[in-house]
Structures are given as C-alpha cells and as structure tokens.
Chain A
Amino acid sequence: MRAARRWREVVAPVLLGVVALLAWQATVVGLELRPFVVPSPTAIGEQLADHAAVIAAASWSTARNAFWGLLIGVAVALLAAAVSAAVRVVDEMSAPLVAATAVVPIVALAPVLYTMFGANAQTARIVVAAIVSFVPVYVNTLRGLRTVTPVHRDLMRVYAATRRQTTRVVTLPGALPFFFSGLRVAASVAVISALVAEYFGGPVDGLGKAITSAVSSSNYPLAWAYVAGAVVIGLVFFCATLALERGVLHRGNLRQRP
C-alpha cells in the first residue's frame, strides 16, 4: 500500500521524466535539429555543468526578488482581506481595483516602475512580484473568510459567542485552506513575474537578463540551461508552499478543501 503509493508519487514521475529526456535526445539527434530550434538535453547539460556558478547566481538573484515580492504581496493581501471581510464598504470600494489588478498584465508596468524606483535597483521587480502575488491570495482569503457555513453561524449564535470567538473558532480555520490555495498560485506567479520583469530593464543580474543575453549571443544551449534554473526555482517555491500548507493544516487537523 505504502510502497505502491511511493511508486506512484515518486518513481513513476521520475521514470516518465527520464523517458521524455531520452525521446528528446533521440529526436534532436535523429532529426539533426539545429540548436536554435531546440538543443539536445546533453548539450544543455554540458552548459549547466560548465556554468553552474553563474547559473546559480542568476537563479539566486531572481529567486530573492520573487521571495520578497511574494512575502510582501502575501502580507498585504492578508491585511487587506481581513479589512475587507470586516468592513463591507472597503470590499465594495476596492473590488474594481482588485479586478483591474487581476486582468492588467502587471509585468507590462515594469518599464514604468524602473523609472519610478531607478533602473539600478531590484525594487521594481520586487514590486511586480508583490502585486502579482497579492491578487490570488487576497481573492481566495477573502472568499474563505466569507464562507462560513450557515449551520456553523447558527451554532455560534446559539452559543452567544463573541465576534472574536467566532473569528478564532470558525472563520479563521475555515479560511486557511482557501488562503493556501491562493498562496500556491501566488508562489508560481511570483517567480514568473520576477523573471519576466527582468526582460523590461533594470540591473543585469537575474535569470531573465541571462536568458536574453545568451540568446542574443546565439548560445542557445546556455539559454536553455538558464531556463532549467528557472524551473528549479519554480519547483522550490511550489514545494515550499506545499510543505507549509501540509504542515499547518495537518497540525491543526484542518481538512484540505479542493
């Protein structure tokens, strides 16, 4: 049972990955594809090994921006969701703004932000990541805070529970799974937006910058090696939020909602 699950969750995906890499290699070699179309995994691997230190440095720089952006975005989202849940008017006033933030591609604002905060600072990238991670966390958390089952509401009323008690006992625990599904989305988009923001200017460190410069010097396997670095950051962020979610929900005996 346990072994079977481990097989499904770990061995099977790894096996699939290996098969995919082999197929990729075979296709590139067999069809004699040129590197600018797509380089072979071995060529990318070579670049990864040769430039490990620079790739790690670039990844670290992007990851740091994504992390601070995520942290700030989540903190502001939680605060805003709490206020909106408590004060209906705030929610109604801010709804159009939140909707606009959700649909406007914030990374497109990057050039403006670079002028605002200075092209030598990372601030613009952090701000982009923060705004982008704000939206899913805010929307989900607010929905969670609003979703109190009628039977629980009735129960707390019958118990003459204070507002604070109701919040602690029913509202917050009920909202936690909603918060975490927002956080999972936010973690991915924070990495993507921090990286993409680099395309629009700012300091020369970071994966986005590294990818553009590798491509402009026609070093396609190196560009792909940087992309591999981006994949690793994305995975680290995703796994970290997942671990946090499991840890918190399990400790508090909180059931996970879809």
Chain B
Amino acid sequence: MSATAPTSPSSRSGPVEPAGPPDSPDATTTAAAAVEVRGVSRRFASRSGDVVALSDVDLTVRAGEFVSLIGPSGCGKSTLLRLIADLDRPTGGELTVFGRPPHVARQNHDFGIAFQQAGLLPWRSVRANVELPLELHGTGRAARRARATELLGLVGLADFADHRPDQLSGGMQQRVAIARALAESPSLLLMDEPFGALDEMTREHVQTELLRLRAESGAAVVFVTHSIPEAVYLSDRVVVMSARPGQVREIVPVALGSAGDRTDGLREDDQFFDRVRAVREALHGTDGATGVGRGVDQR
C-alpha cells in the first residue's frame, strides 16, 4: 500500500484493515467490541425541567476502529464519551467496554483519555506528566522514564522533557496530553475535542501525528469533534448525532483506506471531499435543510 495515495475502498477486506461493516459477524465472535452502547439514555435533572442529553443511543466500536462523534453542540457527544469513560452513569440502557462494565474497564486501565484542555499538571515537568499514569499504577522508575522518553520522541517533544507545561504552546501541550493518554498502551483511546483549541495549521499536523501513533498502537479510538474534515480525515466511521434529544442520526462509513495509512495528501483528494459532503448532508438532512447543523464547524 502506498503511503501517499489513499487506498481504495476495496482494500477494506485486507487483513489489517480495521474498518468494515458495523455489523460484521466476527465483531462478536472473535473478540469483544471495544465499546458497545445499547439503548443508552442520559437525563439530567435541572430546575427548569429535565434535559435529555442522550436518548436511546446504540453504537458499536470494534477493536482497533477509529470512530468520530460529530453533531451540533449540546447533542450529547461529551456526555456519551463520559459514559464510556465511567465519568458518568447512564439513566437507561447499558454500556460495555471490551465486554465489561465501564467501571471495571476503568479499574483495569483499559482506556486512555484526552480532553479539549490538555489538563497537564503545571507543577510537574513534561516528562513527569507523561509518566503520571504509569506512576499511579506502580510502574518502576526506570521503565517509566524509558516509556516517557519513547513517547515524547514519538510526539516530537524529546527536547522538551524537562520543560514545564506552561513553557509549551497549546499544540505542544496537547501532544503531551496525547502521549500521556498513550502511556499505558491502552486498547481504547477516548478523546473529547482534543484539537478544538488549536489553530488550523497545528491542527492538521497533530491529526496526522495522531493517526501515526494510533496505527502503531492499534488502539480503538472514540473521537469527539465538531469539524467535519477532521472527522473524515481521521475516522473509519463518522457517527452523526442530532440534538434535543441527543440521538444517533446516521453513521457514515468513510472507507478511505486504513486510517493509519492516511497522509496530508488525502485532504486534497476527491474521495475525501465526497465523504465530507456525505457527512455534511447527514448532519443537515439529505435535502440540505439548514439549521440542524448549527454549531458544527464547516472548515
């Protein structure tokens, strides 16, 4: 497979290809799905009446698959991610992560997480931030150090290991946060608009970097974004959500070849624009009705 040209959709059947039909039989027979969401609802009680953040959501993310959640702001993307991460509990339905309840998966350190805010500890060096999960889970000093060095090299920040986070730019901080999320080589990575605060140039750079890192680790990714091109560029499938109540409106297969093989050249490709249009239409309704996609970044 060429590294520059996007592979054709037919290469989906290749052995290393994680993308495929969402209901392919081996998803259930060979290994547990990375994430299994069944009829999940989340209702928030508030003084001015209940808010239904999620209503009857079904979603399966297979092991090694890159899935983006996109939709107007307030449609429950973050809520869904927090449910998967066991930072919140559903009011209805059921979730599993690698076949286990989310709290068990969390205790088991099955997933890494990154938020829009890098959330680095300002009093620790960059290296010590990357080492944090390893330190908390009892990895020895030497092994921690080696792993942090390796990861910082991968995200191109080897020279900044002993800097403090506030000496780094926003993009660099976010790369440290990603390195930290990957520290324990999780088989699932949860990301909530991690590049939302970055400028366009930096953003495209870290997107490609993320794809490369992810291809090496083979982790499944659930990626929240409000940028259509970002979702298309990164994902095997794009889950388009609608608001009030938050529901899955449509799942768009991207099928631009293995996400790990994608490069910046893809952004100029006709197929890429084709998928961008497909996602945009899914967001706005097929007749191109406006209004539904408000709050979604068209960049």
Contact = CB atoms under 8 A, between A and B. Distances in A.
Interface in B119-137: 119, 121-125, 132-133, 135-137
Interface in A167-216: 169-170, 173-174, 176
Interface in A205-231: none
Interface in A151-171: 151-152, 154-155, 157-161, 165, 169-170
A159 to B, nearest CB: 5
Given A165-B136, A253-B164, A158 B122 contact: no
A169 B136 contact: yes
Q: Chain B's interface: helix, strand, loop or mixed, by majority? A: loop
A223 B106 CA distance: 69
Contacts of A51: none
A158 B106 contact: yes
B123 A255 contact: yes
A30 interface: no
Contacts of B7: none
Interface residues of B, number: 24
A254 interface: yes
Interface in B70-118: 85-87, 106-107, 109, 111-113, 115, 117
A247 B107 CA distance: 37
A152 B119 CA distance: 6
Contacts of B109: 159-160
User: How many of chain A's residues touch chain B, expressed as a range?
Assistant: 20 to 34
B87 A154 contact: yes
A253 B164 CA distance: 8
A158 B132 CA distance: 12
Contacts of A161: 136
A174 B121 CA distance: 9
A16 to B, nearest CB: 32
B123 A158 contact: no
B123 A254 contact: yes
Interface string B147-159: 0000000000000
Contacts of A157: 86-87, 106
B85 A158 contact: yes
Nearest to A155: B119
A109 B113 CA distance: 55
A158 B108 CA distance: 10
B133 to A, nearest CB: 5
Given A151-B115, A157-B87, A158-B85, A173 B136 contact: no
B122 A255 contact: yes
A160 B106 contact: yes
B106 A252 contact: no
A149 B119 contact: yes
A154 to B, nearest CB: 5
A173 B120 CA distance: 13
A158 B136 contact: no
Nearest to A257: B122
A99 B282 CA distance: 58
Nearest to A158: B113
Contacts of A159: 109, 132-133, 136-137
Nearest to A160: B107
Contacts of B112: 158
B297 interface: no
Contacts of A254: 122-123
Contact of B123 (A151, A155, A252): A252
B274 interface: no
B113 A170 contact: no
Contacts of A169: 121, 132, 135-136
B133 A151 contact: no
A155 B176 CA distance: 14
Q: Which 6 A-B pairs have the closest CB atoms?
A: A151-B119, A254-B123, A255-B122, A173-B123, A151-B117, A158-B113
6 contacts: A155-B119, A158-B86, A165-B136, A173-B123, A252-B123, A255-B123
Interface of A: 149, 151-152, 154-155, 157-161, 165, 169-170, 173-174, 176, 252-255
Given A154-B113, A158-B86, 19 more contacts: A151-B115, A151-B117, A152-B121, A154-B85, A154-B87, A154-B115, A158-B113, A159-B109, A159-B132, A159-B133, A159-B137, A161-B136, A169-B136, A173-B121, A173-B123, A176-B123, A253-B125, A254-B123, A255-B166
